[in-house]
Structure 1
Amino acid sequence: MSNMNKTVIRTMELLYLFTDHAELTFQEIVELSGMPKSSVYRMLLSLEEMKFLEKKEDAKYRLGTIFLTFGRLVSSRMNIRQIAEPIMRQLHSEEHQAVNLAILEGDEAVYIEKIDEFQKVKLYTSVGRRSPLYGGACARAVLSFQSDQFIEQYLERVELKAYTNNTITDRQQLLASIEEAREKGYTISKSELENHTASLAAPIYNSDGKVIGSLSVAGIEIEFSDNAIEHLSKKVKIAAHKISEEIGYEKK
């Protein structure tokens, strides 16, 4: 075991102390951990700086509010995955195209579920993969239905990089694509992140009416004809709306 791994493990041991104690003084942490004071002092400084711990005015330590963020994220991921899974399976069994579930995280879309049992040609997308919000239907469905302010700020801080010859890297073209998505209620992409693939996606809304993710079907590009897109767009929008309703969304 490397020194770095030992340090990580010992740091985690300090954090675990707070599962049984709401607050602890420096001396209490030393006594409970059995570690040298110098080691505890250095680790506490790092944990404070990274917002994992907070030091109150009475010199007692407690878990930082960053854990609330992590908790909400894990909870929302678990809930949406559990809710979406049967709906995704139904869509996949009917269409035999890969069905993906992605959520918004920072400036990216993160794939958190994928069902492709009946798909003959497997695609690159996998659970845990991240995509830029401007690239591909699944990610752009998340971006397209954000507020105008969100989109404007996003475009100011993000460089539009090409992954294939079809990746949208022009700001005006991207804005036009967003406008089209809002009119149709879904996004479509062909060979934007990987050549010879296509995807169609619709947004997922939470109980506050905010888009937190998207549902998509994906396959090889040749299978996404105009007729197929017309058919799939209806199915995907219905499925995405079902998921939205299940997590508390009410269309006004």
Structure 2
Amino acid sequence: MSESLRRGLRVLAALADEPATASRIAESHDISLSTAVRLLRLLADEGFALRDDAGRYHVGSQLLRVAYQVVAEMDVRQVAAPVLRALNAETNHTVHLGYFENPTLIYVDKYAGTAPVQMHSRIGQPAPLHCTAMGKAVAAYLPDDERAALVTELEFVASTPRTITNGAEYLHALDEVCATGYALNLGEHEEVVSAVAVPIRRPDGRVQYAIDVAVPNFLVDEQALRALIPRVVAAAAEIESALGYA
């Protein structure tokens, strides 16, 4: 490996830790200021670094794109499995992992609970975005333009008397998800089942996966469901950490 390439990779690794000026890079890497400037400009030209108005260099979008491609090739289902199994064992309730590709949410993993009444879900089945907890959890983090387009496309079919049936109410629910970090389904998809869902957030804020815990309403009331929120949030954070997002 050439010394220039080695230096460039070390500089890139340093920027991943924290933004830095050319003089700071020169000092910390024991290179001349001119060499630091040359390396940083080269990284910026290729999209791997970005210079702000204060003269500090940050990690660029090209590096993030490469990193996301590597992460995307990981089997998220496999990474999440031990966390979901533990959540299922601890709560005795059904746990799902969902995959989101706008405008479709698919159940990609499921660990069934022990109650005699269960949510009618199966791996590979699509989930409605407007009346499931995971649907709200993933849609909430869409960019504003994509979220607005989605609202105009959804049919808002009323599955139960508690189902959201209009765009304004749905947008309000998505805002609440962004404010709290979790989504609730209080008998909106199936009258006998409620759920709490938490998104798996990438470093860029986008969401492609979410997890939920679904409970039978005759066993778990709303207060008890809300008591599960911290555990689901912790499980999502554990998955994000295992994926290298945190």
Query: Matches of 2:167 and 2:220 in 1, distance apart?
Result: 25
SS in structure 1 of the partner of residue 156 of structure 2: coil
**Cα deviation code 1:179-198 (max 9, x no counterpart):** 21122211111222222111
Alignment of 1:5-16 (within 5 A): none
Is this contact kept in 2: 1:142–1:213, CA < 8 A? Answer: yes
Amino acid across the alignment from 1:154: L
Distance change in 2, residues 1:172/1:77 (3 Å): farther
Alignment root-mean-square deviation, CA: 2.2
Query: Matches of 1:77 and 1:232 in 2, distance apart?
Result: 31
Matched, 1:196 2:183: no
Query: Matches of 1:134 and 1:106 in 2, distance apart?
Result: 13
SS in structure 2 of the partner of residue 245 of structure 1: helix
The residue that corresponds to 2:22 in the other structure is none
Matched, 1:178 2:201: no
Matched, 1:82 2:78: yes
How far the C-alpha of 1:80 sits from its partner, in A, is 0.9
The residue that corresponds to 2:227 in the other structure is 231
SS in structure 2 of the partner of residue 88 of structure 1: helix
- Of residues 135, 138, 142, the one that matches 1:139 is 135
- Of residues 190, 206, 209, the one that matches 2:205 is 209
**Cα deviation code 1:37-56 (max 9, x no counterpart):** xxxxxxxxxxxxxxxxxxxx
Amino acid across the alignment from 1:131: A
How far the C-alpha of 1:106 sits from its partner, in A, is 2.9
Structure 2 unaligned regions, length at least 5: 1-67
**Cα deviation code 1:137-174 (max 9, x no counterpart):** 01111111222222111112232222222221111111
The residue that corresponds to 1:156 in the other structure is 152
Matched, 1:246 2:221: no
Is this contact kept in 1: 2:99–2:106, CA < 8 A? Answer: yes
Alignment of 1:48-59 (within 5 A): none
Query: Matches of 1:170 and 1:224 in 2, distance apart?
Result: 28
**Cα deviation code 1:189-235 (max 9, x no counterpart):** 12222221111100012354311111000021233434313321000
Report which stretch shifted further, 131-140 or 83-92.
131-140
SS in structure 2 of the partner of residue 99 of structure 1: strand
SS in structure 1 of the partner of residue 106 of structure 2: strand
SS in structure 2 of the partner of residue 100 of structure 1: strand
Structure 1 unaligned regions, length at least 5: 1-71
How far the C-alpha of 1:132 sits from its partner, in A, is 2.4
Distance change in 2, residues 1:76/1:115 (3 Å): farther
SS in structure 1 of the partner of residue 210 of structure 2: strand
Is this contact kept in 2: 1:107–1:132, CA < 8 A? Answer: no
Query: Matches of 2:106 and 2:74 in 1, distance apart?
Result: 14
Alignment of 1:89-104 (within 5 A): 89-104=85-100
How far the C-alpha of 1:89 sits from its partner, in A, is 0.6
Query: Matches of 2:244 and 2:203 in 1, distance apart?
Result: 4
Amino acid across the alignment from 1:86: P
Distance change in 2, residues 1:175/1:85 (3 Å): same
Identity of aligned residues (%): 28
Amino acid across the alignment from 1:124: H
